[in-house]
Structure 1
Amino acid sequence: MSKERITAGEARTIMILFIMGSTMIMGAGGQAHTDAWLAILMATGMSVPIVLISARLLALYPGQNLYDICLQVFGKLAGRVCILLYVWYAIHLAALVLRNYGEFMESEAMPETPMLVPMLFVAALCIFVVLHGIETLGRSARLMFNVCMITIIVVLSLTLERMDFENILPVLDYGWGPIWKGAFSAFSFPFAETFLLTAIFGGVKDGKSYVRILLYGLLIGSGLVLFITFRNLFILGNYTMSNVYFPSYAAVGRVNVGDFIQRIEGTVAIVFVICVFTKISACLLAASYGIAKLFGLHSYRTVVIQTGLLVTYLAYSLYDNIMEMLHFASEVYFFYAFPFQVIIPILLLIGAEIKVRRGNRANAG
Structure 2
Amino acid sequence: MKEKISGLQLFYVIAGFEFGTAMLFGLGAEAKQDAWLVIVIGMLSSLILMGVFTQLSLYYPNDTLVSMLPKIIGKYLSYPVIIIYIIHFIYSAARACRDFGELIVSTILIETPIVFVIGSFMVLMIYCLRGGVETFGRMGEMVFPIYIMSMIVIWILLFSVEDFNFKNLTPVLGNGIKPILNEVYPNIINFPFGETIIMMMFFPFLNNKRIIRTVGMSVILCGGLLLALNFIFILSVLGPELYGTSEFPLLRATRMVSIADFLERFDALIILMMVAGVFFKVGGWTFGASVAISQLFKINNTKSILLALGTLITPLSLLIGTDFVEHLEIGFNYFVPYFHVPLQIIVPIILLCIAFIRKKINPENS
The interval holding the TM-score normalised by the smaller chain is over 0.9
Contact 2:61 2:203 in 1 (8 A): no
Task: Show the 5 A alignment for 1:335-350.
Answer: 335-336=337-338, 337-350=340-353
Answer yes or no: is the 8 Å Cα contact 2:14–2:284 preserved in 1: no
Cα RMSD (Å) of the superposition?
Answer: 1.5
- Could you tell me whether the CA contact under 8 Å between 1:35 and 1:172 is conserved in 2? yes
Please give the secondary structure, in 1, of the residue aligned with 2:74. Answer: helix
| SS at 2:160 equivalent | helix
Which range is displaced more, 324-333 or 293-302?
A: 324-333
Residues 362, 352 of structure 1: CA spacing in aligned structure 2 closer, same or farther, 3 A cutoff? closer
* Matched pairs, number: 362
- Cα deviation for residue 111 of structure 1 reads 2.1
Structure 2 distance, partners of 1:361, 1:168, is 55
Who is 1:96 aligned against? 95
CA distance in 1, matches of 2:280, 2:256: 28
Instruction: Note closer, same or farther for the CA distance 1:176–1:198 as it changes in structure 2 (3 Å cut).
Output: same
Task: Quote how far apart the aligned CAs of 1:312 are.
Answer: 1.1
Q: Which residue of 2 aligns with 1:171?
A: 172
* Structure 2: unaligned runs, 5 residues or longer: none
Q: Which residue of 1 aligns with 2:182?
A: 181
Contact persistence 1:54–1:198 (CA under 8 A): yes
Report deviation, 1:362: 7.2
Q: CA deviation at 1:308?
A: 1.6
Superposed structure 1 runs of 4+ greater than 6 Å apart: none
8 Å contact 1:232–1:251 — kept in the other structure?
yes
Deviation at 1:361, TM superposition (A): 6.4
Tell me, in whole angstroms, the C-alpha distance in 2 between the residues paired with 1:77 and 1:44: 35
CA contact (8 A) 2:203 2:209 kept: no
Amino acid at match of 2:179: P
Q: Which residue of 2 aligns with 1:293?
A: 295
Judge conservation of contact 1:10–1:139 (CA < 8 Å) in 2.
yes
1:48 alignment counterpart = 47
Query: TM (normalized to structure 1)?
Result: 0.95
Cα distance change on mapping 1:289 and 1:180 into 2, 3 Å: same
* One-letter amino acid of the counterpart of residue 131, structure 1: R
Percent identity between matched residues is 27
2:195 is the counterpart of 1:196: no
Instruction: Flag structure 1 segments of 5+ consecutive residues without an equivalent.
Output: none
Question: Does 2:277 align with 1:278?
Answer: no
The CA distance in 2 between the partners of 1:82 and 1:271, in whole Å, is: 34
Counting only pairs closer than 5 Å after superposition, residues 238-249 of structure 1 correspond to structure 2 as: 238-249=240-251
TM-score with structure 2 setting the length: 0.95
Equivalent residues of 1:94, 1:280 under 8 A apart: yes
Q: Matched residue of 1:26: which SS?
A: coil
